[in-house]
Amino acid sequence: MARFLIVEARFYDHLNDMLISGARSAIEAAGHACEVLTVPGALEVPGAIALASESGHYDGYVGIGVVIRGETYHFEIVAGESARGIMALTMDGMAIGNGILTVENEEQALVRADPQQKDKGGEAAKAALALYELQGRFAA
């Protein structure tokens, strides 16, 4: 049984709860265990994953959060840099699924976060699971 860490940028509680529910369900359905770690924002997700990876306690990671476009350029920085940080870690061989939603409004976020609709938390967990399986395939 593998251990996965869900790292969430908690800002929109109701949306994060749905994303975590989807991610947790996908990981547990695959027969693995998971924990949740909360960080202040989406920009901290890659750093927290990097720090957690040093412990050797986890086999894979899922980044969770919601970034909704506002009136300033800040949205682009948060969305782009959090994705870049996760991608850099993935390119270094870590099994990470990116479930940080970057949307125009809360309506879009609700549809994507809801496990009964687009289930982006579950999709991110499935991506992490797929990369974890590839690690095992190529390690042999």
3-state secondary structure of 47: helix
- pTM of the shown model: 0.96
Q: How far are the Cα atoms of 31, 37, 43, 118, 132 from residue 40, in angstroms, in the given order?
A: 29, 10, 8, 25, 26
Mark whether 14 is an active-site residue.
no
Predicted confidence (pLDDT) at residue 140 exceeds the cutoff of 80: no
Binding residues for 5-amino-6-(D-ribitylamino)uracil: 11, 42-44, 66-68, 98
The binding site consists of: 11, 42-44, 66-68, 71-72, 98, 112
Give the CATH number for residue 79. 3.40.50.960
The CA radius of gyration of the chain, in Å to the nearest whole number, is 14
pLDDT tens digits for 10-26? 999 999 999 999 999 99
User: How many domains does one find in the chain?
Assistant: 1
Which residues span the domain enclosing 106? Answer: 3-134
Question: Residue 14: inside a domain, yes or no?
Answer: yes
Kindly report the backbone phi and psi dihedral angles of residue 95, in degrees, each rounded to the nearest multiple of 5, phi listed first.
Answer: -90, 100
